[in-house]
Amino acid sequence: MTADAELRRLRERLAEVPLRAVACSGGVDSLLLATVAHRADPAGTVVVHSVTPAVPAAATARVLEAAAREGWTLRTVRSGEFDDPRYLANPRDRCYVCKSHLYDAMGELVDRVGGTHVLLSGANTDDLGEYRPGLRAAAERGVRHPYVEAGIGKAGIRAVAASLGLDCADLPAAPCLASRLYTGTPVTPLRLRAVEVGEELVTRLTGIRVVRCRLRDDEVRIEVRDADRSLVDDAVVAAVLAAMRAVDPGVRDAALDGEAYRPGRAFELTPVGR
C-alpha cells in the first residue's frame, strides 16, 4: 500500500470521529496522528500530552514544538501513576496500570473541555503482535486506535510522515523511560532521570540513535544494535556509569549488554531479584 493510500485510509477513519482527543506522547506515531487529525479538522481536534517523570524531556519538547508549528489545541495532564504503589512496584502489567491512569486523566480533561470527544491513541498494527497490556486499559475505556482500524503499521506511519515532510518520520522509537527498568525493579523518578541522562550521553559520545540503558536492580546494561556495539567501549561505559550515579547514587555498575538491542527486553515473567 502506498503512503497516499494509507493516508487516505487514516483520514477516512478519523472522519468517523468528528470530535477527537489525540493522546500524543511525542513519538512518531502519535505526532503524525495528531497532525493529520488537526489538519483535517482543527475545530474538532484536541491534542493531550501527559507530563510525568516517565516521559523523556525531549518527547515533551517535540510535542510543544509541533503544537506551536501546527496550531494545535494542546492540553497537558499529570496522569498520577507515580502516586500508585502498584505502578512503582513495576509488575509485569505495569503498562496496564500506567495507561489506566493516563486514559482516566485524559478522559477527565476531555469531559471538562466539553462535547463528546473520543480519545484516540497512536497504537498501530505492529503493536498487536507484542506484549502490550496497555491496550487492555484502552479497551476498557473505549479508546480508539485509528492506525489499527486503517490497517497501518510502523513502516506505513513512517512513510506517511515522510510524504507529508514531517521531521519526525525517521525518529527512533521512544517508549516511556519506565520501559528501561526490568520487571520488579522499582520505579523511581531518580532512576528514570538517570536512564535518560545515560542514553543521551551514549548518543552524544557515539552518535548511536537507538540505545537503551536498562536497569536490573542497581546494575545498568547498555543495549545497542549489533552494528553499533563496537562504538560502546570501556570509556563510554565508564562515562555513562558516572553520569547516571551523579543523578542516582544507587546505581552501582554498568556494562555493555551481552546481547544486541531488542524491544521489550525488560519485560520478564518473573520479577528480577538479587
Confidence of residue 265 (pLDDT cuts 50, 70, 90): confident
pLDDT 10s digits, 210-264: 999 999 999 999 999 999 999 999 999 999 999 999 999 999 999 999 999 998 8
Mean pLDDT of the region 115-130: 90
Residue 81 within any structural domain of the chain: yes
Instruction: Return the pLDDT at 253.
Output: 97
Provide the b/e sequence for 30-60 (b: ≥16 CB within 10 Å). bbbbbbbbbeeeeebbbbbbbebbbbbeebb
154 and 119 belong to one structural domain:
yes
Q: Write the CATH number for 199.
A: 3.30.70
Residue 200 within any structural domain of the chain: yes
147 and 181 belong to one structural domain:
no
pLDDT 10s digits, 54-101: 999 999 999 999 999 999 999 999 999 999 999 999 999 999 999 999
DSSP 9: H
89 and 61 belong to one structural domain:
yes
* Domain count within the chain: 2
d(CA 5, CA 136): 29
Confidence of residue 19 (pLDDT cuts 50, 70, 90): very high
Q: Are 204 and 170 in contact (CB under 8 A)?
A: no
133 and 68 belong to one structural domain:
yes
Return the half-sphere exposure (C-beta side, CA atoms, 13 A cut-off) of residue 225: 9
141 and 203 belong to one structural domain:
no
Instruction: Return the pLDDT at 271.
Output: 60
Residue 223 within any structural domain of the chain: yes
183 and 146 belong to one structural domain:
no
123 SS3 class:
coil
Which residue, 94, 122, 118, 111, is CA-closest to 24? 122
* Domain range for 216: 177-256
113 SS3 class:
helix
Query: Average model confidence (pLDDT) for the chain?
Result: 94
Residue 266 within any structural domain of the chain: no
Residue 12 within any structural domain of the chain: yes
Instruction: Return the pLDDT at 130.
Output: 76
- Sequence-separated (6 or more) residues with CB below 8 Å from residue 253: 218, 219, 220, 241
151 and 38 belong to one structural domain:
yes
Residue 263 within any structural domain of the chain: no
d(CA 58, CA 99): 20
Residue 66 within any structural domain of the chain: yes
26 and 137 belong to one structural domain:
yes
